[in-house]
């Protein structure tokens, strides 16, 4: 049950023809012999994880590749891939000895083997849906590996077939996970790519290991051996071809026996007994024209007896995938049923190879896909051929996904698409790009390169201009139009516009705008710092040194916090200016007035400093103290004692920082004289805030209240108007007015404020 080795180059599958790397040489075995000589000392006696000897496995892989028409260069690669496991720097060594193309193949194939081994080991402990998830993830990794170098497909398929052959020949039990993977992943892949010789043998061997009883039962049920069936089919093929030629029909007749697994699937799928499976033996007739198809059918039915109800005309009514052919079942010369398919060469090409074509190319260096260098129309043909094979891979993946979903439903698992989370699209150079489902051309551009995403301005999908928020689908070719410079648009971050679907793309756009804002902030901070240095006459100071002295990593870090108003320029001023010397304890006494007295004296503003003679005092502007407020004194540098209200926030903070500067003070008696020489009570400025609904005459009415109370208004800050809520809940313009009035007793101020609050529209009147 081995793959035939007599297939010629014309019968090779399209992917094999596509990957033929070298033209036939006079001594085509030279690359294979050289690679084997290189690998032999490394592989001899080395066991693989399956138990096979590495060199024997590589020999088997090379034989299988030769059997399907692969070039000698591909056969040579089978030795180098396995030799790489026993080299310290495999890619580097293989590159020097055999070239970059072989080194690339070794890298991708070894990486894929590692992925598969890890997934298979993890799958041993997985159950149910988790097991299927591992399987689908493995398919994903395989697809991505294939997209980088399509030669990996052939090597992995040939390697897996050789492993199954080893278990069959050695009579050793094959691991169930390996057999299941061969049946569920590798065989469908070979089928999709048209590598039939490998496909049927993978299926039969997997069937043998997974269902040994059913396999033996079906084999026994067939009353003739495979060799005998092949002999009978060959005899029928020769007889039919000779008869058609004798009747003027230029036909090529092909024949092959039905494989065991194919028979099993047909029996299971259609619920048939073995005797009802009519295509245990099958012939295929290929003719030049459609008219020849019907002529061959007519002659066939004259020569053999047709089976009623077993005729299908897929030429007149093609299948959904475009398949065309005539199918009929006849009773052969021995009286046994035989299926015959009749089609034209064009139909056969489509059925066998799909859209893939037999375009070969040469490898040269590290440029292009797998080292491909081509030009002009031929380069476009190579890209088209590669897209065709990759589309087959995508279709295979979809087929696999559907099969996994059906399996999940059969097991009672929740039915949900397992591959709906991403898509695959092509670049114009036929490279494959993985994107999340629903991705747009901008997502595609960011997936290719961040800078391309920033400069993206337009896109073509399959040659047609599309909006940048157009959702892409698998298999499409995307071409991005980019500006020479520039950045993304803020509109791209608007989820309602749908420009970005990938979180990675959104993060890239946000990062660009964050970097732009940071540059603007740094520029603003630099300008502020440089202006400060000019004012201080310190333009010679190096900015990096200044930042380091202030504890920053670099000047940009300083500029950033200054630009964000998170760092005060006062800190830089204090660094640039030398600190003032601390005053002596006798400095405060130097500020005393010239009139000495041993008893407490009245200070400026009617304040007595307890225990100190004629000390300079100042009423603090922040809280505007006035009798009978509780007050406290704070000794300042060079300006005497500052008098604060006891509840002043600033006073409390200063007292906490320097409690030794706090001094006891008290209000004094009446002092001063008017123009007539009479005495009057000392007056104190007090700040008042009035908020009211803005109206005509508001300021006049408030000033009249102060006048009636005989309270002098020293300053008025004109109203500022803002929008706010009135007491009734509506919206009105609110005026906020500031007054500075002089009072001898702050207790009397409360009465005045109550009168102001009673004015029309006034919402509040309070002391600041």
Residue pLDDT, tens place only, 83-142: 888 888 888 888 888 887 778 777 777 766 665 565 555 554 444 455 555 555 555 555
Q: Region 499-514: what's the mean pLDDT?
A: 89
The residues near 3 (Cβ < 8 Å, ≥ 6 apart) are 64, 67, 68, 161, 197, 198, 201
Confirm if 345 and 286 have CB atoms less than 8 A apart.
yes
Pick the CATH number of 9-218 from 1.10.3210.10, 1.20.1250.20, 3.30.450.20, 1.20.1540.10: 1.10.3210.10
Q: Region 287-307: what's the mean pLDDT?
A: 93
User: What CATH code is assigned to 226-353?
Assistant: 3.30.460.10
In DSSP notation, 727-766 reads: TTSSEEEEEEEEEEEEES-HHHHHHHHHHHHTSTTEEEEE
Q: Region 634-657: what's the mean pLDDT?
A: 84
Residue 354, helix vs strand vs coil: coil
DSSP-derived secondary structure letter, 184: I
Whole-angstrom distance between the N-terminal and C-terminal Cα of the chain?
102
Q: Region 147-154: what's the mean pLDDT?
A: 67
Judge whether residue 343 has pLDDT over 90: yes
Judge whether residue 588 has pLDDT over 70: no
Rounding to the nearest 10 degrees, give the CA dihedral for residues 192, 193, 196, 199.
Answer: -60
- For 128, counting Cβ atoms within 10 Å of its Cβ (0-12 exposed, 13-18 middle, 19+ buried), the class is exposed
422-501, CATH topology level = Ubiquitin-like (UB roll) (3.10.20)
| Res 118: pLDDT | 55
Q: Summarize pLDDT for 105-115 with one digit per residue, the tens.
A: 777 777 666 65
Angle at 290 between CA 287 and CA 291, to 5 degrees: 95
Within 10 angstroms of residue 309's Cβ, the number of other Cβ atoms is 6
684-767, CATH topology level = Alpha-Beta Plaits (3.30.70)
Q: Region 276-297: what's the mean pLDDT?
A: 83
Q: What sign results for the dihedral spanned by CA atoms 166, 171, 177, 183?
A: positive
Supply 610's token pair. 């307890």
Q: Summarize pLDDT for 355-405 with one digit per residue, the tens.
A: 332 322 222 233 333 333 334 454 565 556 556 666 656 666 555 555 555
Q: Look up the pTM and report it.
A: 0.47
Extents of the domains making up the chain:
9-218, 226-353, 422-501, 512-576, 585-667, 684-767
- Tokens 């005899």 identify what position? 235
Q: Summarize pLDDT for 22-34 with one digit per residue, the tens.
A: 444 444 567 888 8
| Rounded Cα gap, residues 730 and 13, in angstroms | 83
Comparing 441 with 438, which gets the higher pLDDT?
A: 441
Q: Tell me the pLDDT band of 676, cut-offs 50, 70 and 90.
A: very low
Q: What sign results for the dihedral spanned by CA atoms 158, 189, 207, 123?
A: positive
- Mean pLDDT across the chain, nearest whole number? 75
């Amino acid at each position: 049950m081995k793959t035939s080795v007599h297939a010629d180059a014309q019968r090779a599958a399209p992917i094999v023809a596509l990957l033929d790397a070298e033209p036939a040489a006079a001594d085509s075995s030279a690359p294979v012999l050289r690679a084997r000589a290189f690998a032999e000392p490394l592989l001899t006696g080395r066991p693989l994880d399956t138990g096979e000897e590495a060199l024997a496995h590589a020999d088997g892989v090379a034989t299988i590749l030769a059997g399907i028409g692969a070039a000698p260069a591909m056969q040579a690669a089978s030795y180098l891939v396995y030799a790489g496991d026993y080299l310290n720097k495999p890619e580097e060594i293989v590159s020097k000895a055999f070239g970059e193309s072989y080194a690339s193949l070794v890298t991708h194939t070894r990486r894929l083997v590692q992925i598969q081994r890890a997934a298979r080991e993890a799958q041993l402990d997985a159950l149910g849906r988790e097991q299927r998830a591992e399987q689908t993830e493995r398919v994903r990794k395989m697809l991505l590996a294939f997209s980088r170098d399509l030669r990996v497909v052939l090597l992995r398929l040939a390697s897996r077939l050789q492993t199954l052959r080893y278990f069959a020949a050695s009579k050793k039990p094959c691991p169930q996970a390996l057999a299941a993977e061969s049946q569920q992943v590798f065989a469908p892949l070979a089928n999709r790519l048209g590598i039939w010789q490998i496909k049927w043998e993978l299926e039969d061997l997997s069937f043998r290991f997974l269902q040994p009883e059913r396999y033996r039962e079906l084999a026994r049920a067939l009353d003739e051996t495979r060799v005998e069936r092949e002999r009978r089919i060959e005899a029928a093929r020769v007889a039919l071809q000779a008869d058609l030629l004798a009747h003027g029909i230029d036909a090529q007749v092909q024949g092959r026996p039905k494989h065991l697994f194919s028979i099993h699937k047909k029996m299971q799928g259609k619920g048939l007994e073995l005797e009802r499976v009519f295509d245990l033996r099958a012939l295929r007739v290929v003719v030049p024209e459609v008219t020849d198809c019907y002529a061959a059918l007519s002659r066939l039915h004259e020569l053999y007896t047709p089976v009623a109800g077993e005729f299908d005309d897929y030429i007149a009514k093609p299948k959904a995938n475009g398949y065309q052919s005539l199918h009929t079942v006849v009773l052969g010369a021995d009286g046994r049923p035989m299926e015959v398919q009749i089609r034209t060469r064009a139909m056969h090409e489509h059925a066998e190879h799909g859209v893939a074509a037999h375009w070969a190319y040469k490898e040269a260096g590290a440029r292009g896909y797998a080292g491909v260098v081509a030009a002009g129309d031929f380069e476009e043909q190579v890209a088209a051929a590669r897209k065709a094979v990759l589309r087959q891979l995508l279709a295979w993946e979809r087929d696999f996904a559907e099969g996994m979903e059906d399996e999940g439903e059969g097991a009672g698992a929740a039915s949900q698409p397992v591959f709906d989370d991403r898509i695959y699209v092509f670049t114009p150079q036929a490279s494959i790009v993985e994107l999340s489902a629903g991705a747009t051309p901008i997502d595609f551009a960011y997936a290719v390169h961040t800078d391309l995403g920033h400069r993206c301005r337009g896109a073509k999908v399959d040659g047609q201009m599309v909006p940048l928020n157009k959702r892409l689908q698998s298999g499409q070719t995307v071409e991005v139009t980019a500006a020479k410079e520039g950045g993304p648009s803020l509109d791209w971050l608007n989820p309602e516009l749908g420009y970005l679907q990938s979180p990675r793309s959104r993060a890239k756009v946000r990062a660009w705008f964050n970097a732009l804002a940071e540059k603007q902030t740094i520029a603003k901070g630099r300008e502020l710092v440089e202006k400060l240095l000019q004012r201080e006459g310190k333009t010679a100071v190096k900015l990096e040194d200044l930042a380091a002295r202030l504890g920053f990593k670099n000047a940009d870090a300083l500029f950033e916090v200054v630009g964000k108003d998170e760092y005060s320029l006062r800190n830089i001023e204090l660094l640039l200016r030398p600190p003032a010397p601390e005053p002596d304890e006798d400095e405060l006494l130097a500020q005393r007035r010239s009139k000495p007295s041993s008893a407490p004296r009245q200070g400026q503003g009617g304040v007595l400093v307890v225990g100190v003679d004629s000390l300079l005092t100042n009423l603090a502007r922040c809280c505007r103290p006035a009798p009978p407020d509780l007050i406290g004194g704070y000794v300042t540098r060079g300006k005497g004692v500052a008098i604060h209200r006891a509840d002043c926030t600033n006073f409390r903070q200063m007292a906490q920082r320097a409690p030794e500067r706090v001094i006891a003070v008290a209000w004094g008696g009446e002092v001063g004289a008017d123009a007539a020489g009479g005495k009057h009570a000392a007056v104190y400025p007090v700040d008042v805030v009035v908020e009211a609904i803005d109206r005509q005459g508001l300021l006049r009415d408030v000033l009249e209240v102060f006048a009636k109370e005989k309270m002098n208004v020293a300053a008025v800050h004109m109203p500022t108007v803002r929008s706010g809520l009135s007491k009734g809940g509506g919206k009105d313009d609110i005026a906020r007015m500031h007054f500075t009035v002089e009072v001898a007793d702050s207790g009397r101020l409360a009465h005045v404020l109550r009168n102001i609050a009673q004015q029309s529209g006034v919402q509040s009147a309070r002391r600041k």
